[in-house]
Amino acid sequence: MRFFAITRATLAKDVRLEWRSKDAINAMLFFSLLVVVIFSFAFDPTAEESRRIAGGLVWVAFLFAAIVALNQTWARELRNQVLDAYRVSPAPANPLFLAKAFGNFIFVSVLEALMTPLFIVFYKLRALGSAWELLPIAVLGTWALVVNGTFFAAMSLRTRSREIMLPLLLFPLSIPALLGMVNATTAILTGEESARFWIALLVAYDVVFTVACLLLFEVVLEAE
């Protein structure tokens, strides 16, 4: 019970902070808008081509934009030594981690919800497969990005030039997740093959890394 109380309190605080400042969401939105525009200039695709490449473009844009939210997750707590206070408090580490991961999940989901219509308009997208399957892919893919992203953002706090360090740690490990998201999305947009395998892969990735993060987060939080 206490576990969820801590998670809820931290999550509510983060969402309220973001709601009032809108720092991360504005930066992410503008960033991914720029990516959409620049990509469509760079490729100038027809509707048929864009079906093949849109999965990749969409997820790369979201991945890069998510880095903005992920980087400020913990940096915010460094001001006024909030993180140190948390460390000396008797509260366990995992509720804090879960709250941060859920917070990032919400921010990135809002970004995706706002950006997807733009992608559809700019790239003239229409799914030839069953479009409802895009929803579980979005949920699983976003969780795959934010769970490891939140974890490695905490890790990169302990490094020089931490904002650059996060993508360097996160991207190599995210390759299977990114392959899963991109290929599942492409499979549904082109309607040529089933996305089942890629969804299963995303589920496996999410389960494995959520468990690993929960087991090892305390170690990372306690490191100075």
Q: Among 180, 185, 195, 221, indicate the residue that binds another protein (CB under 8 A).
A: 180
What is the chain's Cα-based Rg? 18
**85-110 CB burial, b ≥16 within 10 A, e <16:** eeeeeebebbbbbbbbbbbbbbbbbb
Q: Which of helix, strand or coil describes residue 112?
A: helix
Distance CA 193, CA 186 (A): 9
Give me the least distance between CB of 195 and another protein, in Å please: 12
Distance CA 107, CA 68 (A): 10
- Closest CB to another protein among residues 14, 133: 133
Q: Among 25, 104, 205, 221, indicate the residue that binds another protein (CB under 8 A).
A: 205
Distance CA 201, CA 178 (A): 10
End-to-end Cα spacing for the chain: 29
- Closest CB to another protein among residues 62, 205: 205
Q: Among 65, 176, 186, 196, indicate the residue that binds another protein (CB under 8 A).
A: 176
In terms of Cα–Cα distance, which of 22, 178, 186, 157 is closest to 81?
Answer: 157
Q: Among 75, 127, 179, 214, indicate the residue that binds another protein (CB under 8 A).
A: 179
Distance CA 190, CA 14 (A): 38
Q: Among 19, 20, 88, 224, indicate the residue that binds another protein (CB under 8 A).
A: 224
- In the range 150-169, which residues lie near another protein by CB under 8 A? 155, 158-161, 165, 168-169
Residue 11 in contact with another protein, rule: CB under 8 A: no
Give me the least distance between CB of 30 and another protein, in Å please: 28
- Closest CB to another protein among residues 34, 204: 204
Residues binding another protein: what is the number (CB under 8 A)? Answer: 31
